[in-house]
Each structure stands twice: as structure tokens, then as C-alpha cells.
Structure 1
Amino acid sequence: MADLPTVGTPVDTLTDQSRMAGGPGARLAAVRAEAAAFKREFATTGTPDTITTHDLVTLPYPTRFGLFRASRALAPFLSITNRMLVIRWRESDGRRRVLLFEPSDVERGRYTAYFDRLARRTPDVVARRMVTEHGSVRSHLAGLGIAPEDVDYLLFDHLHTQDLRRWVGTTAYQEDLGGRPEPVFPHAKVVVQRDELAGMAELHPLQRPWYQPYAYRDVPPEAFLPIEGSVILGPGVGVVKTPGHVFGNQSLVVNTATGIWVSSENVIAAECLVPEHSKLPGLARWSREWQQEVVLNANTVETTADQYNSVVLEKTLADPSQDDPRFPQFFPSSELTGAWTNPGTTPTFSHRALTHTRG
């Protein structure tokens, strides 16, 4: 995809971890220093016009994945809520931009290998209690008065579970979709790290349960805007490369009226960045005993040390919450959600939404 157009302004302050010298410990020290420098730089880029949050689906997720080895909860599953952020800004020339962060096609996402197997083993009566669909991407946009053709960018922290065929169209007939779908977002481009596209070309066994590779065979290449590393997309809107959860993982960074927020699925709760303040069973103790300052979302272990370093980068970038300064303005794209069916997994603190309007 070397001939495809690029997007955004590259960030020189942050070095791709794969290009850093030394081992993971040395890279961790470098990540901390670079993140602090970038934070000062990013705060000067302005703010977007608006950010709104829209719930898509709440679904079960294994506790051993979401809270890694730290949890002492009795429940084998916890609940996470997937949400979409809608971000709008104007370019310096006055052009309006609309970015959708995590606009998951929930209906198609259920065919991801892991979740498909889980659904087949779960009785319908149980599934109805465990899965709640809150609204679709299209219904949320309609409520905002945003036409699909006005969407410029689709952004995901990574492409686990994602099927983009209905969003960006296909080049051939799709038997499971009953035709060749016209793109819902005809002008939108998918901003993705080149590393992830390269990794998806031939999946490793550790990756296979979480991707839907067949869904990308006929997606038009021009639907993608591949980037390498971190970029600034607009005033107060950035994409930071945070490898580890997948090779080409990336995080959304936004500057708002309350300071800088970071969003990804590297962890599933803000308290996972500060487990010393967590009341979730086991987290604080595990953090002390193992001398680890963060608790990863570890359903994949592609490069766990890099993921740890990436979470420290996110933690360094995020400003303290104005609701409770002990917790950072880290907004999990899949946030831990308490449920009576999952004892021991109710979060100590939740953001539930990220909103901003420029004054």
C-alpha cells in the first residue's frame, strides 16, 4: 500500500517502540520521557469543536483477559461496554471534519471466531441477559443530524472483531451479505497503522481468534489511509501508536476543556492505570506484590512488554479526572461495566462518557 495517500501531521516527539534502542526496560524509560514531551506539545494544538459518546453494546468478556492475572473475582466473566466517539473539528481553511472512533458494526462483530464460539455454547436465555445492544452507529449519527456521506474518517484502536464491508463497500459479491453492499460511508477513510495491515496479511495463531480476515479480502484498498507511527489529525485530535495488544495498536488522544484524554482498549478501566486505588478484588495487592503499575487487557499476548510500555505512555499523557483526580482521563473503548451477574467486577470508578464542546 505504499502508493496510498497519507493523512495528518507526523509526530516527531514520539519514537516508534520498534525503532527504540535497548530492551523493553530501556524503552519504558524512553517512553515516559517522550510522552511527557509530547503532552506539552499536544496541549498547544487546540481543541476540536465537539466530542460525543454513544453506547453500542454491552457484552461478556473473560475476567482473566480483561484484568489479566490480577483479579480475584469469583465471576469467570465480566461485562464491557463498547462505545463510539464522534469527533468534529474544522481545518485551518474552514473545512469541517467528522471522525468516528470505534464505529463497530455490532451485528457483524459477533462472527469473530472467539465470540462466535462463545455464543454457540451459551443458551439463548442466558445470552439475552448477558448482551445488551444500546444503539447502532447509523442510529446514533441520525440522532446527531450527521449524514453518512459527511463522515471523513473511521478510526479503531485495532481491528479485532471488526467487519468493515458494510461501512466502506466491497469489490465483489459477498455471499453472507447477499450482494455487493454500497458503502454506508462513501467518503470515509479508515485510518490504520501499516503494521496492523501487514500483520493481518498472514495471521499468527495467537491472533486468529480475534480477527475476521475473510471480511477484508474484497474491501477496496483505497478505503484505507495507512499511517506509520503517531500523527496529529486536527486541532486537539491525535493518533498515537501504542503497540502490544496488537502489533499495530493505536490510541486516540484528544485535548478538551478538561485537559487531555486518551482512549484505547489496552486496559478496560481507568483504575487499571492506577491499580493502587482500585477496590476490585485482587488488583491493588497484585500490583504491589508484582511491582507492576498497570493491569493490562490481555486477551492477546503478541508483545506484552510493549503493551505495558504503551499503557504507561497513555497514563503519562492523560490528565487527572476532574471527578476524582486519583484516576486519569483514560476512556476505555471497551469499559468495564458492573453487573449483578458478575460479582467482584464492578469498577471502582467509571467515566461512562467523554464529552466536549469548545467554548
Structure 2
Amino acid sequence: MQPFPWNTANVVDLPGIGTPVDSLTDPSRTPGGPGARLAAVRAEGLAFKREFATTGTPDSITTCDLVTLPYPTRFGLFRASRAVAPFLSITNRMLVIRWQETDGRARVLLFEPSDVELGQYTPYFDRLSRRTPAPVARLMLTRYATVLEHLATLGIAPQDVDYLLFDHLHTQDLRRWVGTTAYQQDLGGRPEAAFPNAKVIVQRDELAGMAELHPLQKAWYQPAAYRDVPPEAFLPIEGSVVLGPGVAVVKTPGHVFGNQSLVVNTSTGIWVSSENVIAAECLTPEHSKLPGLARWSREWEYEAVLNANTIETTADQYNSVVLEKTLADPSQKDPRFLQFFPSSELTGAWTNPGTKPTFSHRALTHTR
């Protein structure tokens, strides 16, 4: 039985959302080879950045820590790291973004609202957990508040959430967020949607790709978790769109075929968030003090260090990261680094020598 509920045809039939961005083309479909596409994303990125800055700003952005967990160094700092530690630590965080439409309607978007409890059953992390002694696991894993606990602290009712957005659906199990159409054996029932009015914004390419996973993808998705998720829970988009004042989704393929990045305009300028890299210094590795990064990037003439647990289309991911570099403004804390906020940010830990970041954002906050 096919575990994924939709084929490519009926994915296309689902309704979309947002105002399309005409100044950005899909970086993987621009005419020419990868080098020509790289030149195109630089030019298009500058054009969109000027345009996007005029759309305004959202009302607020709040950062919520979810979990710190181990991740292979060879994935997170692709080929560049000379750290002795086989694992580094990354912190997954949710962004809560609020704005008002022109007609006065309030909107709430959750970016990366991961169900950490169910995400641990992603094949790769499940296998890693089974091989890791419990005392070691306790040292490497820290859970903070859950998505619902964070929202309660912020005074946001679940029914007031309009959109759920992920840069991609690796590790994500959405059944408790959007409900299911059938009994779930592992959950002991048929979960009602925690966010009854929310829709999941996702690239059509990712839904189509999940319908029949390639071997390079299988370790990172939980396709069976989508078998009974109602299709109408999704709002697919194709390419880049502006969702509201100072809030956009930009297609950044490569890490997965349908990867997308959050772009927000704030009181400190434009920020970009995704998991294409795991540290701001991976976009300017010449300033990194992490062992190996500056030398590696100089020797290979690479301007970025990718997060490469998947290498579906690595040249496209590199080009997408350059697009993100073009869009993000310099950090006001240290202009050598950019306002790129990794959705999984490298986090120093004594258990992982040689992986303490040179620079960390730790939070993205904004109020108007």
C-alpha cells in the first residue's frame, strides 16, 4: 500500500496561497547550467530584496526553543570541519509571526512548529537513538517547552493559528497538528486537529516528491505519518510568494526538491531562515573560527558550507544559499555575519569539541 495519500495530479488540484513573486524564478529551473543559474540568483535576489523591503513589516516575531539534539558533524558542516567530534549539537526553534491583512484581519504563522515527540521516529534519528546508550542520550538531548506550551505562554489560542510553515518536511509528523481521517494505532486514537483552522504551506514539488520517495530521501521522511492526513490541510505554493507585510516564502531547492525559506522584514532589516546551513558563519566561512571552515572555503573557493544530510541536488542547494546570502542584511551585532537565522542552529556543547560556533543569533525578535 502506498503510504502517501496523494499522487502528483491531485496535488496540483489543491488551492494555493499568497502573491507570487515575479522577480524570482525557481533557482533549479532557470535556463542554462548551474553556473548560469548562480549568476541569475544573485541578480534576481537583489531585485527582490529592493521590492520586498517596500512591503512593510509584520507586527511581531517571537522565537521559541524546542529541542537541542545531536547531528553528525559531516552532515552539518559538509566536508569542511576538522573537529574531532563526530557529532555536533543543533537547536530547533519555532518562530511565531503575527501581522494584519489590509482588511484588518489578524494572522498568526508558526514557522517550524515541530512535534518533537513524534519527530524522533524519523528513520535516521530512530536508528541513532536505538544505538545510543541512555546516559549518553541524556547528555546530548535537551527538550524545552512544546509548541502548545509556548503558544499558551504567548497567549495565543491554537484556533487562532492560520498557517504552519516548514522549510521542508524532513522529520515532521503533522498528525496531531492537523488531525487525521482514520484511527492511528501508535497514537491510540484518531487525533483531533490541535490547530483546527491552520493550513500547512508547502511547495507542490515537495508533496509530489513525497508521493514516491527516492532512496536518498528515505532516511529523513516519515511518509506513513501522512497516510491519513487530510489533503485539504495543505496550501501548496509553486515558487516564491509574499504572504503578508514583510513576510515571504522563497523557494530554495536543493536540500530537498521543494525546499523553501522564510524571509521577513524587521526593525533591523531583512532576515532569512532555513536549514540550508546550520550557522550564520557558514554563509561567510572566511570569518569562522570553527576548525577547518575558513581554510576549506578558501582552498575550494566556496562561499558557503552547506548542511548536507541530503545531497539530492547539491549545486541547486549551493545556489539557493547564495540567494539567501543576497537577501539577508548584515547582523547589527557583528556585520561580518548575516541576519540568517538557521531553523536548526549550531549550538556549542562540551560533549562536542571543535564545534562551538564563532557567532550565534539564538533568537529572532521583532516588534513594530
Q: Which residue pairs with 2:35 in the alignment?
A: 25
Residues 280 and 340 in structure 2, CA contact (< 8 A), matched pair in contact too: yes
CA distance in 1, matches of 2:317, 2:28: 12
Residue aligning to 1:333: 343
Query: CA offset at residue 6 of structure 1?
Result: 1.4
Listed as ranges, the matches of 1:248-259 within 5 Å are: 248-259=258-269
User: SS at 1:80's partner residue?
Assistant: strand
Name the counterpart of 1:93. 103
TM alignment of 1:60-79, pairs within 5 A: 60-79=70-89
Counterpart in the other structure of 2:233? 223
Tell me the residue number matched to 1:182: 192
Corresponding letter in the other structure for 2:160: D
Question: Structure 2 CA distance, aligned partners of 1:16 and 1:334?
Answer: 24
Partner Cα distance (1:288, 1:102) in 2? 33
Counterpart of 2:203 (choices 178, 189, 193) is: 193
SS in 1 for 2:109: strand
1:14 aligns with 2:14: no
Equivalent runs, 1:209-358 vs 2, <5 Å: 209-358=219-368
Contact 2:12 2:204 in 1 (8 A): no
AA matched with 1:61: Y
Describe the SS at the equivalent of 1:297. Answer: coil
Task: Please tell me whether the aligned partners of residues 162 and 197 of structure 2 are also in contact (alpha carbons under 8 angstroms).
Answer: yes
- CA deviations 1:212-245 (Å, max 9, x no partner) are 0000011000000000000000000000000000
Per-residue Cα deviation, 1:117-151 (whole angstroms, up to 9, x for no partner):
00000011110110000110000000000000000
The residue number in structure 2 matching 1:147 is 157
- 3-state SS of the aligned residue for 1:117? helix
Partner deviation per Cα, 1:276-320 (whole Å, 9 max, x = no partner): 000000000000100000000000000000000000000000000
Deviations along 1:83-122, one digit per CA (max 9) or x if unpaired, are 0000000000000000000000000000000000000000
Secondary structure, aligned partner of 1:225: strand
Structure 1 residue 2: Cα displacement? 2.9
- 2:125 aligned with 1:125: no
Q: Matched residue of 1:18: which SS?
A: coil
Structure 1: runs of 5+ lacking an equivalent: none
Once the two structures are superposed, residues 334-355 of structure 1 have per-residue CA deviations (whole angstroms, 9 ceiling, x without a partner) of: 0000000000000000000000
C-alpha separation in 2, matches of 1:99 and 1:22: 36
SS where residue 54 of structure 2 aligns? coil
What is the identity, as a one-letter code, of the residue corresponding to 1:128? R
> Any conservation in 1 of the 2:297–2:303 contact (CA below 8 Å)?
yes
Aligned amino acid, residue 216 of structure 1: Y
Cα distance in 2 between the residues matched to 1:18 and 1:298: 17
Instruction: Tell me, yes or no, if structure 1 residue 206 matches structure 2 residue 244.
Output: no
Contact 2:202 2:234 (C-alpha < 8 Å) held by counterparts? yes
SS in 2 for 1:149: helix
| TM-score of the two chains, using structure 2 as the length reference | 0.97
Per the alignment, residue 111 of structure 1 pairs with: 121
- Aligned mates of 1:7, 1:356 — CA distance in 2: 24
2: distance between equivalents of 1:280 and 1:181?
44
Measured after TM superposition, the shift of residue 4 of structure 1 is 2.1
1:193 deviates by 0.1
Matched AA of 1:215: A
Q: Deviation of residue 37 (structure 1)?
A: 0.4
User: In 1, Cα distance between the equivalents of 2:239 and 2:187?
Assistant: 34
Q: What is the one-letter code of the residue matched to 1:310?
A: S
Aligned to 1:167: 177
Corresponding position of 1:138: 148
How far does residue 18 in structure 1 lie from its aligned partner after superposition? 3.2
The CA distance in 2 between the partners of 1:266 and 1:343, in whole Å, is 23
Alpha-carbon distance in 2 for matches of 1:50, 1:180: 34
Q: Which residue of 1 aligns with 2:12?
A: 2
Q: Percent identity?
A: 86
CA distance in 1, matches of 2:157, 2:151: 7
| Post-superposition CA distance 1:186-210 (Å, at most 9, x none) | 0000000000000000000000000
Q: Secondary structure at the match of 1:203?
A: coil
Q: CA deviation at 1:3?
A: 2.9
